[in-house]
Chains A and B, each alone.
Chain A
Amino acid sequence: MGRYIIRRLIQALPVLLGATFFIFAIVFALPGDPVAALAGDKRQDPNIVAIIRDQYHLNDPLLVQYWYYIKGIVLEGDFGKTFAGVPVTQLLAGKLQVTLNLALVALTLEAIIGVLLGLWAALRRGRATDTAILASTLLLISIPTLVSGFVLQLWLGVWLKQVTGTEFFPISGATQGLKSYLLPGFVLAGVSIAYLTRLTRTSLVETLRSDYIRTATAKGLSRRRVIGRHGLRNALIPMVTYLGADLGNLMGGAVITETIFNLPGIGLQLYNGVYLREQPIVVGIVTVLVLVYILANLVVDLMYAVLDPRIRYE
């Protein structure tokens, strides 16, 4: 097991290098000049521009710039500075926490609602409940976050507060602890909830058709135990895979949700970074996201071995 983890982490290195270089090159290729953007409309002193360009190695070729960047990360843990002089690591530290909170709240909501709805639909397969759940997941998949975010913000955030006089769901900022994350977490999880519901339903329906479920029934076990112990335990395998991989998606997909609910996370920061063409910020955030993807997938693969004894890693 230990050797397997090490091997997987070593395999992750080229992925990490490739992803960062790719993003680095794309930001490099963007039209416009970052130093010029700094000054806005004001005229710039050519000498100062030259100094800044030299200081940030902006005159060097792409590969050399990338080399400096990687060297800084490996040797000093330095992800570079923003043009305002703030180290990227410092800038991201607090924001990463916000996004992680948001993603974890979303993942929890997704797991609870998705599994329960899927279970319900599977046990009522072919009946009205099943059809209703399937139809509503389709609706959920079809509505973009951009729409559901604003609509829920208006209904549950603004109107509900006006009607009841109590603020159940804050509409902006991350200052009220868990409460601040509930509504944005639900909006972010929306599409994933729909997918997980469908996956749970399919997985359970298929499991309940298998021979060992018939055996469990023949053993004289209650239906509750047959489904809860023998069925769910097997149906869980694809569900856990999906949930694990989805953590990365949720963190990467937080850009729109964070913008709508004004949450100071890396999504909002990424948006600003791209807008201002601040290479260190964009590449730094992408590196973090790639890392999250890789680790989440590793955890999923390890969970496999726990859930399914037929899989062993040597």
Chain B
Amino acid sequence: MKKTSLDTLPAEGGLGDEPLLAVDNLHVEFATRAGTVRAVNGVSYSLGPGETLAVLGESGSGKSVTAQAIMGILDMPPARIPKGEIRFRGTDLLKLSDEARTQVRGQRIAMIFQDALSALNPVFTVGWQISEMFRVHRGMSKRDAMIKAVELMDRVRIPAAKQRVNDYPHQFSGGMRQRIMIAMSIALDPEVLIADEPTTALDVTVQAQIMELLAELQRESNMGMILITHDLGVVADVADKIAVMYAGRIVENAPVHDIYRNPAHPYTKGLLESIPRVDLKGQELYAIKGLPPNLLDMPTGCAFHPRCPYRQDNCVTDNPPLYEINGRRNSACHYWREVLDGDQG
């Protein structure tokens, strides 16, 4: 395979028709002793500058694996990408040389992880870890890089940044640690920020603060953001569009308000109905019956059919394509019309 060099990567600016980031028919599989696990089966989504895409799904739905494939931080092997493209400004990242890929990572596409305590290195100070970005990628001196680190800590609103720059991660609270993680990821003004469940490990009040901070940073820099979460509550305020994943596929994607108002896939509908609501207090909370499928032994036809209240005979045999509902949204359900109408056929 011919490797493209970094020089062919367009700089910031004119994108033409090409979105900032486009994932196209991506497949990722893992070789395990029990067999090949197909974690991602033909995922496509795109992201523009300043746009926020929320990728929703339960554990094992392939949402994090997709993100790691974009970052290029999957362990290969055991992971393998047999098919698909990840185009960043029109260049397929999967065809880049390792060296060119490293140049994109962290500088142009950055990532925030779920648990900031384990994601930060315990033996280096937070200042050292943030300033490393400037020392390694920008060739700054230790002192200048440290000054930049303090600036960034101020920017993500860590109180007394100057005094705390030489503290270690374990000396910070969970919310502050996530802020440090964010400071590190935005250090070099990336064009795409991938946030993999950035608030899952945090208190509810702190969650809101972190989401607010991310939204604010995004407005300032116009970066595109992929927000990976299983928390529908987090999504509503910040996302522009949503992609719902199930068993390694996107089952529905749509602008955020369309989905909340009227889901077009039974799985999305189930997720929305299982959110606790104040006006339904006292009633039993809805739960989607059954368990997510075993990726080693996927159901025939539509992967969701064993749990689906709309199931018909052809769902067991035919895997639905991603039907286009209108120009803006898709659903991978044979009976999306019935789901939209709320009519349980």
Contact = CB atoms under 8 A, between A and B. Distances in A.
Interface in B93-151: 102-107, 110-111, 113, 115, 118-125, 132-133, 136-137
Contact of B106 (A211, A219, A230, A234): A219
A309 B123 contact: yes
A221 B105 CA distance: 8
Interface string A207-239: 000111011111111100100001001100000
Contacts of B132: 219, 221
B168 A218 contact: no
B123 A220 contact: no
Given A220-B105, A220-B106, A215 B133 contact: no
A91 interface: no
A230 B110 CA distance: 18
B307 interface: no
Chain A contact residues: over half helix, strand or loop, or mixed? helix
A216 B133 contact: no
A7 interface: no
A222 B101 CA distance: 10
B119 A212 contact: yes
B102 A220 contact: yes
A310 interface: yes
A148 B113 CA distance: 51
B192 interface: no
A212 B73 contact: no
B107 A220 contact: yes
B118 A211 contact: yes
A210 B105 contact: no
A217 B124 CA distance: 16
Contacts of A212: 118-122
Interface in B22-46: none
Contacts of A206: none
Interface string B55-82: 0000000000000000101000000000
Nearest to A222: B102
Contact of A310 (B103, B170, B181): B170
B250 interface: no
B168 to A, nearest CB: 4
B170 A219 contact: no
Given A217-B73, A222-B102, A233 B119 contact: no
A78 interface: no
Given A309-B168, A310-B168, A310-B170, A215 B105 contact: no
Interface string B148-171: 000000000000000000001010
Contact of B123 (A217, A222, A308): A308
A172 to B, nearest CB: 46
Contact of B121 (A220, A225, A234): A234
Contacts of A214: 73, 113, 119
Contacts of B133: 219
B245 interface: no
A307 interface: yes
Contacts of B119: 211-212, 214-215
B264 interface: no
A220 B104 contact: yes
B122 A234 contact: yes
A217 B115 contact: no
B102 A230 contact: no
- Determine which residue in B102, B105, B121, B125 has the highest number of CB atoms from chain A within 10 A of its CB, and name it: B121
Given A211-B118, A219-B133, A233 B123 contact: yes
Interface in A186-215: 210-212, 214-215
A211 B111 CA distance: 13
Interface in B182-221: 184
Contacts of B137: 220
A232 to B, nearest CB: 11
A218 B118 contact: no
B106 A309 contact: no
A211 B113 contact: yes
Contacts of A210: 118
Nearest to B104: A220
Contacts of B184: 215, 219
A230 B128 CA distance: 12
Given A214-B73, A215-B113, A310 B122 contact: yes
Closest 8 A-B residue pairs measured CB to CB? A220-B106, A220-B105, A211-B118, A212-B121, A219-B106, A309-B168, A211-B119, A218-B111
27 contacts: A211-B115, A212-B118, A212-B120, A212-B121, A212-B122, A214-B73, A214-B119, A215-B119, A215-B121, A215-B184, A217-B105, A218-B105, A218-B110, A218-B113, A219-B106, A219-B133, A219-B136, A220-B102, A220-B104, A220-B105, A220-B107, A221-B132, A222-B102, A233-B124, A307-B123, A309-B123, A310-B170
Interface of B: 71, 73, 102-107, 110-111, 113, 115, 118-125, 132-133, 136-137, 168, 170, 181, 184
Given A212-B122, A222-B102, A307-B123, 6 more contacts: A210-B118, A211-B115, A215-B119, A215-B181, A220-B137, A310-B168
